[in-house]
């Protein structure tokens, strides 16, 4: 067993969970950490948006919930996510962004991992006050190709309107309309807090000040992960 990111064959995978409300910075940090640690970034929201764009039955089913700012039902979400976690891309480990988001999902994930002798190594809870969240989401632009988020003030792309990684034209998300953002906050924060409580019991939650600049949040996350090395 090794705690090194991207550990070799037979090593326990490094599985990290990023938790935070709408716009807390999960996707931003997951993208950076995935490049830094060589782990796949699995984001349930991005997976649903990709299914929706591809017009699959899963995407169609998810659409109605996403448009109302509600959570997609557990049975759809768990099946989709477990499939991704079992792919070869996740062999070294994964950064989980947006899943699990209910205690039901958390228990399903814990059981699947335990069956392989695995577990979530650390839960990184990015805390940001609600007023700041609404402002952040209003200025967000996202790459429809790779899902990388940008912000027009705090994290602009190098070439205006284009993704730094693949040059695709950036878009605003359909569910970032103010009324949907309010619904997402109202409906999704309470179950998220229950997930945090669930993992607090296992003593693996790190609370991070998400109001700091992006690089400072990354530094805190890396320090938290390394404080767990060997644990």
Minimum CB separation of residue 84 from ligand AP5 in Å reads: 12
Residue 61 burial (10 A CB sphere; 0-12, 13-18, 19+): middle
Q: How far is the CB of 216 from ligand AP5 (least distance, A)?
A: 8
13 binds, among Mg ion, ligand AP5, none (CB under 5 to 8 A by kind): none
- Give whichever of 131 and 230 is closer to ligand AP5, judged by the CB atom: 131
Residues contributing to the site for ligand AP5 (CB under 6 A) = 20, 22-28, 44-45, 48, 65-66, 69-72, 77, 98-99, 101, 105, 136-137, 139-140, 149-151, 154-155, 175, 184, 210, 212-214, 217
Our answer to whether residue 173 is catalytic in this structure is yes
- Nearest approach in angstroms of CB 25 to Mg ion is 8
* Complex with Mg ion: residue 68 or 228, whichever CB lies closer: 68
Cβ distance 8 to 87 under 8 Å?
no
Is residue 26 part of the annotated active site? The answer reads: yes
Q: Which of 13, 49, 101, 121 is catalytic?
A: 101
Active site residue 13: no
Closest CA to 9 of 85, 83, 88, 86: 88
CA distance linking residue 226 with residue 51, whole number of Å: 35
Span 1-60, contacts to Mg ion by CB under 5 A: 27
Number of residues that bind Mg ion (CB under 5 A): 1
Comparing CB distances to Mg ion, the nearer of 3 and 152 is 152
Catalytic, 162? Answer: no
Active-site position among 68, 91, 173, 177: 173
Q: Compute, in degrees rounded to 10, the torsion defined by CA atoms 185, 69, 102, 131.
A: -10
Dihedral of CA 59/64/69/72: which sign?
negative
Residue with tokens 């768990």: 78
Contact 14, 92 (CB under 8 A): yes
- Sequence length of the chain is 231
For residue 68, indicate whether it is catalytic.
no
Angle at 80 between CA 77 and CA 85, to 5 degrees: 115
| Binding partner of 41, given Mg ion, ligand AP5, none, CB within 5-8 angstroms per partner class | none
- Does 69 contact Mg ion by CB under 5 A? no
Task: Return the structure tokens found at 45.
Answer: 């929201």
Which positions are annotated as active-site residues? 26, 101, 140, 173, 184
- The contact set with Mg ion (CB under 5 A) reads 27
């Amino acid at each position: 067993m090794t705690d090194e990111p991207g550990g070799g064959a037979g090593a326990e995978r490094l599985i990290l969970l990023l938790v935070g409300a709408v716009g807390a910075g999960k996707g931003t940090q997951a993208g950076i950490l995935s490049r830094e640690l060589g782990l796949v970034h699995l984001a349930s929201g991005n997976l649903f948006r990709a299914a929706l764009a591809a017009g699959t039955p899963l995407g169609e089913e998810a659409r109605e919930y996403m448009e109302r700012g509600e959570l997609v039902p557990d049975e759809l979400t768990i099946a989709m996510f477990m499939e991704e976690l079992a792919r070869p891309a996740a062999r070294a480990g994964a950064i989980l962004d947006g899943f699990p988001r209910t205690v039901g999902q958390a228990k399903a994930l814990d059981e699947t991992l335990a069956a392989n002798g695995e577990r979530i190594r650390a839960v990184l809870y990015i805390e940001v006050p609600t007023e700041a969240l609404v402002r952040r989401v209003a200025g967000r632009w996202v790459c429809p190709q790779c899902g990388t988020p940008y912000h027009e003030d705090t994290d602009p792309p190098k070439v205006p309107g284009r993704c730094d990684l693949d040059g695709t034209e950036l878009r605003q998300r359909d569910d970032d309309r103010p009324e949907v953002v309010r619904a997402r906050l109202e409906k999704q924060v309470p179950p998220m807090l229950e997930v945090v409580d669930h993992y607090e019991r296992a003593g693996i939650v790190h609370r991070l000040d998400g109001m700091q600049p992006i690089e400072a949040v990354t530094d805190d996350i890396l320090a938290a992960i390394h404080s767990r090395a060997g644990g």
